[in-house]
Structure 1
Amino acid sequence: MTIKNSGKFIIQKEKLIIYLFVLSVVFADILGNGNLNLLYFFGLFLIFKNLKIQVSFLKDMVIFFVPFCLMILGEIFLSGNTFSPVKVLVYSLKILVCISLLSYTKKRFWVVDHLTIIKNICGLFEIMLVISLLTINKPIFWRLNDVINRFSKTRLKFLYSEPSVLGILCGLLVIILLYYIFDNKKNYMLLKEIVLLAVIILLTFSMSGIVYTAIGIIVLFLFQVFKNKEVIPRRMLTYFLLGICLLIIILSTNNPISNRFFSMFLGTDGSYNFRWSAAVNVFRKTMEITRYWGMGLGNMNTPSGLSFLLNIGIDYKFANSFLYFFTENGILGIIYTIYLFLICTYNCIKSSKNIRPLKVGVLAFAFVSQIAGGYYTDPILWIMYGIVCSNEKTVIN
């Protein structure tokens, strides 16, 4: 009798954690400060939950966090840069919390019912979308008069800091759901959620969300198609033709998405130049000036860092996850990032052929979403790494 009650308690506690996660995802930016992202608080909760010291948690700290700490120590003792102890501590804590999210996802992704989690997220998004459409001229769920995207002045963002953040999250959910659609033709019940997420992505007018999601889907599709080398399923060919037709329709018609795509292709899109061209220019000049040590962790967002940028011709911080991190941390930051992606790649290679398409698709999505945007300490990114490195022992084929 005691065991049964204990089991019920464990189940209820797991459900509570799942509900907290769903709410943390949907209302992540509700406090209006990047350092107060609700997923950071959820990650802290996981750290305190693991104070009993789980072996898997300790292993992940050694694999992911210890090398990060070594990177910081290397910068402090070898680079000659001055550092703000507060900024270094805050950044390190954010990475620690992100790694706790990675560790939890890695251990629990195939244990919990992640499809139900996605459906719960979509259920809340559905309610918010209805409210959004009824309040389209109100700056509650929308970014109005967007000064960055000249093709789409009104963009859906729900309660996130910006439309691109919402687009990236929805893109990840679409990739996971399409994995099940591609893998099992009986999962057409997921089409409702996919259509909802696709509509949200389109209303954000986020080229990040649209283009990076498309790349993730293509990688997922190719790995799924060639999973069995001897035959290509007819339904996969149908999906391919539908995708091509949709792409042709979007690019051949006059709409904000196609207009911005061609603007990016021609190099006249200000947002793209801000996220890529300016970032490459700053990174290159910084590496030359600092002899590849970088500006120092946390130093770009300081008066001295902004003055440094001004001296090389940039009067603003740029938005580019990889190049921002590399510009601050130099060669050691590049080495850490390569190490991180080598671990993820290894986990893709060693995974079973049934799971590999999802892992590779998510890894590709995580990678490309940081090439010209994103933030290195974005909790959603580290959840993606957790999916890629997830334990498959509980998977039922």
Structure 2
Amino acid sequence: MKVSLRTLKYIGFSLVLMFADILHNGNLNLIYLFGIFIIFRFLIKKRYFYHVEIRYLIPFLSIVLMFIIFTDQPFSTIKMFVYFGKLFINIALLLFFQYNFSKKNIREGMKFILATLSLLLTLALIFHNNNIFWRLNDPFNSFSKTRLQLLFSEPSVLGLFVGTLLIFSFYSFLEFGIDRLCMIGVVVPLICLVLSFSLSAMVYTAIVILYLVAKKILKVIPTKKLNERILVLIILILMMMFFIMITENPVRNRVLAILNGTDGSFNFRWNAATQSLFSILEKTNYLGLGFGNMNTEYGRSILESVGMSDIFANSFLYFIAEAGILGVFYIVFIINYCIKNIRKNKYLGQDDCTELKQGLLIYVFISQIAGGYFTDPFIWCLYGIICAKNLKRSGLKI
């Protein structure tokens, strides 16, 4: 059977996504290799590549320059160079998806991704005591000791990935109804998400899905019935939350632990991190530890001096701790770039997937508050999709 080059590309990228984190090292994420490939294969020939790269890199280099000139803190030149390289690749990924995502057949891509995910899930269910597919006796989650992680570095990373698939599938369901592939796109990722017991991924996936449902309701109903439908929507959300809280389940137990202040993971990811961040900024004259410097002997000594036992498990706070107060402006710069592109494409009439893009932006933003790391290439692929031009709904039917 003859296989076209286009099909091979879909299969290749699907495998890259599914096996991206198999080496369990952020610097060796396979999506970085894909980014290097597209730099030399596609983007290096495009004029816009240099314009946007410069637009993103100048603020970053300004932060580095300010750190070097106005601080006498020790830093690793190699780590800073590696950080710069990862950011350069991530910008290339953003550009690739921004200018090429609309030209891809999403249905074909989802077929290969869901087929691979279904195969791995089946193997995981058969070999349910295997530490390759499962995290056994999880030391961090006291409510669910056995958690699905497949070939990802940890269950929360799997949760982020399958949550994205759920958002695309649910959007397709709302706009076009359900067919066999769309049903698989909802059921298989949902099973993976539940078995991962990643509360953070469940929460921000649910938030985006509720947002998409609300936007759909507000779009299709007559204006005169708007207040009544909004009231019904609010009641349904409250009923769902009430049902979750009155039944015995790991999600309820962990939510209660967070509210009571006894959840160690939440306390470490947010409470301890936010308190320590201000101390770190004061100690470094608000210039930060320097890119790549937190996970060094010097960086860890600063963390220990402010009461942190380990590096931050929070993308934005981690970035600000290393970049200093200027890191806040860089985060705002990136988010604003995404918002401007959403508005621009909608204003020009080039886009009728505004709700999906808005939902993905909410997803990316919340997920980086909950955890992850700033240079995660998967996140930057999502940034590119959010900024994509001519992303018509018909191309998103799965």
TM over 0.5: yes
Structure 1 residue runs without a partner (length 5+): 1-10
Alignment of 1:241-390 (within 5 A): 247-352=241-346, 354-390=352-388
Measured in 2, the distance between the counterparts of 1:390 and 1:240 equals 32
1:146 to 138, 144, 151: 138
Corresponding residue for 1:214? 206
- Most deviating of 193-202 and 67-76: 67-76
Residues 167 and 51 (structure 1), Cα distance of their counterparts in 2 relative to 1, 3 Å cut:
closer
Q: Provide closer, same or farther for how the CA distance between residues 141 and 396 of structure 1 changes in structure 2, counting only shifts above 3 A.
A: closer
Shift of 1:359: 0.6
**Contact 2:35 2:92 (8 Å CA) reproduced:** yes
1:182/1:236 contact within 8 Å kept? no
Corresponding residue for residue 8 of structure 1: none
Residue 59 of structure 1 and its aligned partner are, at CA, apart by: 3.2
- The 3 A distance-change label for structure 1 pair 235 and 116 is farther
Shift of the alpha carbon at 1:51? 6.0
Aligned match for 2:76, one of 76, 80, 84? 84
Q: 1:215-266 CA distances to partner (integer Å, 9 max, x unpaired)?
A: 1222233333334574589999999887766544433211112111211122
Q: Cα–Cα, structure 1 residues 51 and 370, in superposed 2: closer, same or farther, change >3 Å?
A: closer
* Secondary structure at 2:193 match in 1: helix
**Residues 183 and 394 of structure 1, relative CA distance in 2, 3 Å threshold:** closer
The 8 Å contact of residues 143 and 154 in structure 1, kept in 2 or not, is answered as yes
Contact 2:138 2:145 in 1 (8 A): yes
Once residues 120 and 391 of structure 2 are traced to their aligned partners in structure 1, the CA distance between those partners, rounded to angstroms, is 37
Bigger mean CA deviation after superposition, 254-263 or 230-239 = 230-239
* Alignment CA distance shift 1:52-1:311 (3 Å): closer
For the residue of structure 2 that corresponds to 1:226, the secondary structure is: helix
Partner SS state of residue 369, structure 2: coil
Counterpart Cα distance in 1 of 2:391 and 2:137: 49
Shift of 1:199: 0.8
Offset, 1:32: 2.8
1:216–1:365 Cα contact (<8 Å) kept: yes
Question: Is the contact between residue 32 and residue 86 of structure 2 (CA under 8 Å) also seen in structure 1?
Answer: yes
Residue 118 and residue 292 in structure 1: after superposition, are their counterparts in 2 closer, same or farther (change >3 A)? same
Do the aligned partners of 2:118 and 2:188 also contact (CA within 8 Å) in 1? Answer: yes
Partner of 1:40: 32
Secondary structure of residue in 1 paired with 2:152: coil
What secondary structure does 2:388 align onto?
A: coil
SS class of match (2:102):
coil
Offset from partner CA, 1:136-174 (integer Å, 9 cap, x none): 111010000001000000000001000000001111111
TM-score by length of 2: 0.90
CA distance in 2, matches of 1:229, 1:350: 26
Provide, for residues 289-322 of structure 1, a one-character-per-residue CA deviation record: whole Å limited to 9, x for no partner: 2221111111110001111111112221120000
Distance 1:112 1:237, change over 3 A: farther
| Gapped regions of structure 2 (runs ≥ 5) | none
Distance 1:43 1:392 in 2: 22
Q: CA deviation at 1:125?
A: 0.9
Change in Cα spacing, 1:351 to 1:186, as seen in structure 2 (3 Å) is: farther
Code of the residue aligned with 2:361 in structure 1: it is: L
The answer to whether the 8 A contact 2:26-2:376 is kept is: no
Which segment is superposed worse, 376-385 or 159-168? 376-385
1:116 and 1:15 map into 2 onto residues whose CA distance is 8
When residues 63 and 181 of structure 1 are mapped into structure 2, their CA distance, relative to the original with a 3 A threshold, is farther
- Once the two structures are TM-superposed, the CA of residue 278 in structure 1 deviates from its matched residue by 1.3
Question: How far off its partner does 1:17 sit?
Answer: 3.0
Say which is worse superposed, 339-348 or 70-79, in terms of deviation. Answer: 70-79
Offset of residue 213 of structure 1: 0.7
Q: Which residue of 2 aligns with 1:7?
A: none
- The letter for the 1-side match of 2:289 is M
Deviation at residue 396 of structure 1 after TM alignment: 5.2
When structure 1 is superposed on structure 2, of 177-186 and 88-97 the one drifting more is 177-186
Deviations 1:173-216 (CA, angstroms, capped at 9, x unpaired): 11112112122235575122101111100000001210111112
Q: Which moved more, 1:135-144 or 1:214-223?
A: 214-223
Instruction: Say if 2:111 and 2:181, in contact at 8 Å, map to a contact too.
Output: no
Alignment CA distance shift 1:137-1:237 (3 Å): farther
Q: Distance in 2 between matches of 1:108 and 1:290?
A: 42
Aligned residues, how many?
A: 387
Instruction: Find the counterpart in structure 2 of residue 66 from structure 1.
Output: 58
Equivalent residue for 1:4?
Answer: none
Normalized against structure 1, the TM-score is what? 0.90
C-alpha distance in 1 between matches for 2:381 and 2:219: 25
Kept in 1, the 8 Å contact 2:217–2:229? The answer is no
| Cα distance in 2, alignment partners of residues 46 and 302 from structure 1 | 32
Percent of aligned pairs sharing the same letter: 39
1:252 to 1:100, Cα distance in 2 relative to 1, 3 A: same
Q: Distance in 2 between matches of 1:144 and 1:41?
A: 30
Q: In the aligned structure 2, how far is the partner of 1:153 from the partner of 1:208? A: 16
Structure 1 residues 163 and 239, CA, compared in 2 at 3 Å: closer, same or farther? farther
